[in-house]
Amino acid sequence: MSVKRKTYTAEFKAKLVLEVLEGEKPVNEIASQYKVLPTSLKSWKKQFLGNMSLAFDKSTVVKEYKDEIEELKKSKDSIAKKLGETIVEKDFLVEKLVSLASSKERKELLDTKLKISLNRQCNLLKISKSSLYYEPIKPFSTSNEIKLLNAIDEIYEEFPSYGYRRMTKQLQRDGYNVGKKLVKKAMKYMGIEALYPKPKTTTANKEHYKYPYLLKDFRNDAGQVVIDRNNKVWSTDITYIKLEKGFVYLAAIIDWHSKKILSWKLSNTMDITLVTDLLKEALAFHPNPEIFNTDQGSQYTAKAHIDILKKHNIKISMDGKGRATDNICIERFWRSIKYEEIYLNEYKNMKVLRKAIEKYIIKYNTRRLHSAIDYQTPNEVYYQAANNLSQKGEEKLPKAS
Q: Is the pLDDT of residue 275 over 80?
A: yes
Residue 396 pLDDT class (50, 70, 90 cuts): very low
Write down the pLDDT at residue 261.
Answer: 96
Residue 390 pLDDT class (50, 70, 90 cuts): very low
Write down the pLDDT at residue 201.
Answer: 56
- Alpha-carbon distance 264 to 253, whole Å? 6
- Alpha-carbon distance 225 to 161, whole Å? 22
Write down the pLDDT at residue 399.
Answer: 44
Write down the pLDDT at residue 136.
Answer: 67
Write down the pLDDT at residue 177.
Answer: 92
- Alpha-carbon distance 201 to 257, whole Å? 25
> Would you list the DSSP string of 335-366?
HHHHHHTGGG---SSHHHHHHHHHHHHHHHHH
Amino acid making up residue 221: D
Q: In three state form, how does the secondary structure of 42-67 look? A: HHHHHHHHHCHHHHHCHHHHHHHHHH
Nearest to 237 by CA among 265, 196, 206: 265
Q: Is the pLDDT of residue 264 over 90?
A: yes
Residue 388 near residue 368 (C-beta atoms within 8 A):
no
Residue 284 pLDDT class (50, 70, 90 cuts): very high
Share of the chain above pLDDT 70, in %: 77
Q: Residue range 312-330: average pLDDT?
A: 80
Write down the pLDDT at residue 153.
Answer: 87
Q: Residue range 348-375: average pLDDT?
A: 91
> Would you list the DSSP string of 224-240?
-B---STTSEEEEEEEE
Q: Is the pLDDT of residue 331 over 70?
A: yes
Q: Is the pLDDT of residue 60 over 70?
A: no
Q: Is the pLDDT of residue 400 over 60?
A: no
Write down the pLDDT at residue 270.
Answer: 83
Q: Is the pLDDT of residue 11 over 50?
A: yes
Q: Is the pLDDT of residue 205 over 60?
A: no
- Alpha-carbon distance 257 to 233, whole Å? 7
- Report which of residues 369 and 138 the model is more confident about: 369
Whole-number average pLDDT of the chain: 80
